[in-house]
Structure 1
Amino acid sequence: MSGHLALILHAHLPFVRHPEHEHFLEEDHLDLLIDLALRERKRNRNQPELAELSEFYFELFSASRRFFVDEWKGDLLAAFRQLRDAGALEIIGCAATHGLLPLIQQQSPAAARAQLLIGRDAHVDLFQADPTGLWLPECAYAPGLDTILQEANIRWFVLDAHGLLFGNPQPQRAIYAPCYTRAGPAAFARDRDSSRQVWSAEEGYPGDPAYREFYRDVGFDLPLEHLGPIARGVRKFSGVKYHRITGRKGEKQFYDRAAAEKAADAHATHFVEQRRAQLGQLAAVDVDPILVVPFDAELFGHWWFEGPRFLELFIRKAAFDQREFRLTTPSEYLAMHPTQQTIEPGASTWGDKGHLEVWIDKNSSWIYPHLHAAAQRMTNVANTQKNDSSELNDRVLKQLARELLLAQASDWAFLMRTGTAREYASKRTIDHLARFNKLHDQFAAGQLNEKFLADCEWRDNLFPNLNWRYYCSGGL
């Protein structure tokens, strides 16, 4: 066996909680999907192709409900903990609200530190163990972050390829082995060849004509009155889709599950063979090379419906059908190969063009002066209040930190750029900053409105055990 492959799935969602609305993220979502599938099963009973697909969706949604509600009582984290304890996967950490750390660090090192340490603490609360690895939001790195990662006891993280390749000195093994940073944590680099075969719009697997078409959905194809309560009078994606990609133009053909399964199997085989060939060309590397293959988890199942099946087939084929490489985790690889080069990685992200343009453009640049000012105010108030342990003081400082963390989420700038939810993203940024500044000014003036504080706590109630003293200039 001459190589290793680490598959990493990164999943995060911005904190979306709107208790002021009766319907936002409904707790009855699976029940509503089952209701829609039953309506479709009745509507399509005389159309064989659609009847078969309607039955498929009914069984899929019903099985999902049994798994989520009956088997795991709505606690998917317990399922992940069980897999971790069985040695099937490694669970890694992330920054608290997926804030773009280089931008935060540039103006407020204490706020970048708080993002990482609060995220680390939340991981411990949820999984009863410290994370060994950490997902840097957007793989965004800048010199100095390694010091904070070391403080959080993080042993490794992931960069895009150029973050390692443009390091100083240059890595002797390119991207096929990790490098230690000067502060200690190791940096692994994303393998671009592997990523391109999955992500690329032109050559990636998800564009195969046999796969399910994401954009054709009964939520837009059928009369609103037929959709029932899942629509609530608004056009939106329902998850019931009857067509395959077919081609870039022309009419879409009905989805053929057998053809999609065949394509997933062929693509999994191809992916294994490509990784075998790739690793076979790295014989000159003086340690067993590793391919690090990170993806956004939402690709699998959401955008690419057959993605989870592709992953299952790939993992099975890699484990049983070949011997040229083995599946591993970065932690396991470091334990096997602890001696590595030390470099200073280059500033980088995995965004378009490899830098920060995705999150700083004409649509989003206006937010950063306000975010930086709020971060500085947070550090100042933490410094002045760090020796006050009163309950009310603690509530105020915790809520100030929550509002700042939520405003810093990288999702808002990303959505402003793409335009998919620009108004909502702008409103979220403005609302969190407004609540932060109002609460801060009341507290600083000695005129705290406890009703307003309670309202903020009701709306934005994440991180119940948050340690606001991480924002202090000199640490705790």
Structure 2
Amino acid sequence: MPLHVAFLWHMHQPDYVDPALGAALMPWVRLHATKGYLDMIWHVEQHPEFRCTFNLTPILIKQIRQLVDGEARDLWRDLAAVPASELTGPQKTGILEHFFKANWETMVKPHSRYWALLQQRGMRTPVTELARVAGQFSAQDYRDLQVWFNLAWFGYAADELYPQLRDLKQKGRGFTEDDKRVVLDCQQDVLRRLLGHYKAGAERGQIEISTTPFYHPILPLVYDSDFARRCMPGRALPPRFSHPEDARAHLAAAVAQHTEVFGAPPRGIWPSEGSVCPELVPILHDLGLEWFATDEEILWRSLGGQRNRNDLYQAYRVQQGGAEVSAVFRERSLSDFIGFTAARNAPDRAADFLLGHLEQIARHSGEDDPLCAIILDGENCWEHFTDGGRAFLDALYRRISRHDQLRPTGFHAYLQGHPPRRALSQLQTGSWINADFDIWIGDPEENRAWELLGKTRAFLQGKADRHEITEEQHRRALESIYAAEGSDWFWWYGGDFVTDNDLLFDQLFRSHLQNVYRICGVPVPDELQMRICRSEMHDQEYQPMAALISPQIDGAVTSFYEWTGAAVYETDKGMSAMARTTRPVEAVLFGTDSDTFYLRVNLRADVALTGKTGLRITVTEPQLTVVEIPQLRVGELDCYVLNITTAGCKAVLGQILEIAIPFRVLHWKPGVEAGFYLQLNRDGVVLERIPSAREIRFRIPDDRFVAENWQV
């Protein structure tokens, strides 16, 4: 029997609209619309035999409509529209700070003028220095930068649909204000037409459109924050927040808007961050939602820990309180391959890798009409492809559609023809990340946010119960509560994930709570004026070196102290809007003595070193040098630079992987700035890059470092 392959592309942006200003504080709805959102539906249109599901979150749809209807301004678009000759000093520094926020390798560097402007500003110029740098840019420089920032965020579909954009990219420099208006007008036209593209795809039966709770909350925690104890026993949690009525409201609003926009109600749901609990099943059933999807780890824990891979490739019935819905579970490794690794490989090779694994599932699955669910972010990963993912998706869609063992499908279409035969006796409470809620609750910052949300919710309920506000005030204030319940604010609180805009997300979260008090005509409490985010804690991507080290290179933890003082980079602490649950590397430790660079790589215990699995260390500064370990196996390993065995290098894999590289091999000297990144490869395919973007940077210790960090 063929393997049914169900892709779900999840598309989401948090609520960037500040309720007090009526303006979007960040541009990502508009810019992702002109790139990933348009590219993805256009690409499906080019492959009429392909089938898939798009999950468009309600808050994303709402913001697209607000931008189209003029109900909300986009402050970054306003900044781009200001004539370059009329820019004020603060506007100039704002442009220099924000208008390079794109993937430098794939969206800036390919355009010589844009890249030159970045060099002119400086790639690591502190924000505090931008006012000084601003005077070095002419009006033409600013105009070119205004145009290029917006132009670079158009994807390949827009280039096909709007030839004038291709012409402007070819022109490259010396843009006029009329050129700028063309770019901004094309953006608005994309926004105006975008949802119609998706509606048409659904009407012709090529795509299915699923939904998510309206403001993208972690619905089990909104229902009852103490549900976190089921999957996070012993963790410190905030005062209990329990509002099942809010959980239902998010889902009901999602269904209502979806029906209005697309002309039919949604059949299924990707719960925000794949977060589920049994108590949601009756609500889904009542609202006509027939299926939900989440991660495979939820399945394994629901089955009591047993992990027969064939159990993954089918749908299940989930019952609670007399209600029943279907559940499908995400194939994690293939989903994560597309989201995090495919871009680091040639498009055909990446497609071959996926096809090979799908063929293997088709051959070995013990199920009749098996289903493989590939579910991932449908927007952010394409920035890492040199062509926006076009060649990869072309190869993937074409080969799957024509394959005699594979059938592309949507979830509703599959379930209609193949109703679930098995039922889950229990459903694990948790999310798609580690089957728990650690990202959103349990950290002091996260708990403080939940506490303030709970206080504001209780304040509003008291006002309503005492009839001190009108029904209209209550409705508007509840909308701000629902916005504050969104998961995105909690994602960026705590140390799990870091962004340049932590404080802005903090401001947006508190602005929604502040708005509740304003609507009720009550002064905003002082505690909502104080930021929650302790941004100083997020300045470092890694724990820096504290002392020189000279570990014994034997692949063993010889002594607790031998790596004491080393820098520590934890792979789960990456600065990203996406998360990954299948990283083969847990952490990288590094440091030096006076003449040797030491690396320690902690591999996860369950990583299988099958095939030709190797490690590449790319040193980017002060001179490009690549050190390669072509085959990882237990014992002492070969190290090469330019295919020549490197004398003095030593690498041993045992309990851990330890590596020593002399400074002379890397052209290093004390006091010099150094940068490096690692790649774990298997059979020519990149499994992981550490860090996922750019490189780890540090200053090679010198005598001053030794004097300041001496230890007894």
Is the Cα contact below 8 Å between 1:162 and 1:346 reproduced in 2? no
Stretch moving more, 332-341 or 366-375: 366-375
Distance verdict in 2 for CA 1:323–1:378, change over 3 Å: farther
Is the Cα contact below 8 Å between 1:108 and 1:375 reproduced in 2? no
Is the Cα contact below 8 Å between 2:315 and 2:420 reproduced in 1? no
The answer to whether 1:103 aligns with 2:221 is yes
CA offsets 1:413-455 (integer angstroms, 9 cap, x no match): 1122323122112211212112213434659xxxxxxxxxxxx
CA offsets 1:325-352 (integer angstroms, 9 cap, x no match): 100111111111124222232112112x
CA offsets 1:76-110 (integer angstroms, 9 cap, x no match): 00011111112111011111110110110011111
Instruction: Report 1:331-370 matches (<5 A).
Output: 331-343=412-424, 344-351=426-433, 353-360=434-441, 361-370=443-452
Instruction: Report 1:101-140 matches (<5 A).
Output: 101-106=219-224, 107-140=242-275
Any idea what SS the aligned residue of 2:311 has?
A: coil
Is the Cα contact below 8 Å between 1:30 and 1:65 reproduced in 2? no
CA distance in 2, matches of 1:28, 1:365: 36
1:130 shift after superposition: 0.4
Any idea what SS the aligned residue of 1:350 has?
A: coil
Task: Determine which structure has greater relative contact order: mean sequence separation of CA pairs < 8 Å that are 6+ residues apart, divided by chain length.
Answer: 1
CA distance in 2, matches of 1:381, 1:151: 30
Is the Cα contact below 8 Å between 1:146 and 1:181 reproduced in 2? yes
Distance verdict in 2 for CA 1:111–1:205, change over 3 Å: same
Distance verdict in 2 for CA 1:184–1:362, change over 3 Å: same
Is the Cα contact below 8 Å between 2:220 and 2:276 reproduced in 1? yes
Any idea what SS the aligned residue of 1:144 has?
A: helix
1:170 shift after superposition: 8.2
Provide the residue aligned with 2:482 in structure 1. Answer: 405
CA distance in 1, matches of 2:338, 2:326: 26
Provide the residue aligned with 1:393 in structure 2. Answer: 470
Any idea what SS the aligned residue of 2:480 has?
A: helix
Provide the residue aligned with 1:428 in structure 2. Answer: 508
CA distance in 1, matches of 2:417, 2:466: 47
Provide the residue aligned with 2:202 in structure 1. Answer: 84
The answer to whether 1:158 aligns with 2:276 is no
Query: Which runs of 5 or more residues in structure 1 are unaligned?
Result: 45-53, 209-262, 444-476
1:194 shift after superposition: 1.2
Distance verdict in 2 for CA 1:38–1:195, change over 3 Å: closer
Any idea what SS the aligned residue of 2:77 has?
A: coil
The answer to whether 1:40 aligns with 2:177 is no
Provide the residue aligned with 2:15 in structure 1. Answer: 15
1:207 is matched with which residue: 326, 341, 344?
344
CA distance in 1, matches of 2:329, 2:464: 36
Provide the residue aligned with 1:192 in structure 2. Answer: 332
1:408 shift after superposition: 1.1
**One-letter amino acid matched to 1:175:** L
Query: Which runs of 5 or more residues in structure 2 are unaligned?
Result: 26-72, 85-98, 100-107, 118-147, 166-185, 225-241, 524-712
TM-score (structure 1 length as normaliser):
0.68
Is the Cα contact below 8 Å between 1:111 and 1:375 reproduced in 2? no
CA distance in 1, matches of 2:81, 2:357: 38
Is the Cα contact below 8 Å between 1:162 and 1:348 reproduced in 2? no
Is the Cα contact below 8 Å between 2:298 and 2:432 reproduced in 1? no
**One-letter amino acid matched to 1:362:** P
Two-structure CA RMSD over aligned residues (Å): 3.6
Greater share of strand residues, 1 or 2? 2
2:75 is matched with which residue: 1, 24, 44?
24
1:141 shift after superposition: 0.8
**One-letter amino acid matched to 2:492:** L
TM-score (structure 2 length as normaliser):
0.47
Any idea what SS the aligned residue of 1:13 has?
A: coil
Provide the residue aligned with 2:54 in structure 1. Answer: none
1:163 shift after superposition: 1.4
Any idea what SS the aligned residue of 2:356 has?
A: helix
Percent identity (aligned): 20
CA distance in 1, matches of 2:220, 2:385: 31
Distance verdict in 2 for CA 1:23–1:129, change over 3 Å: closer
Stretch moving more, 86-95 or 63-72: 63-72
Distance verdict in 2 for CA 1:381–1:181, change over 3 Å: farther
CA offsets 1:436-476 (integer angstroms, 9 cap, x no match): 13434659xxxxxxxxxxxxxxxxxxxxxxxxxxxxxxxxx
Is the Cα contact below 8 Å between 2:339 and 2:381 reproduced in 1? no
Is the Cα contact below 8 Å between 2:429 and 2:435 reproduced in 1? no
**One-letter amino acid matched to 1:409:** G
CA distance in 2, matches of 1:393, 1:157: 37
1:274 shift after superposition: 1.6
Considering only CA atoms, is the larger Rg found in Structure 1 or Structure 2? 2
CA distance in 1, matches of 2:270, 2:447: 24
1:42 shift after superposition: 12
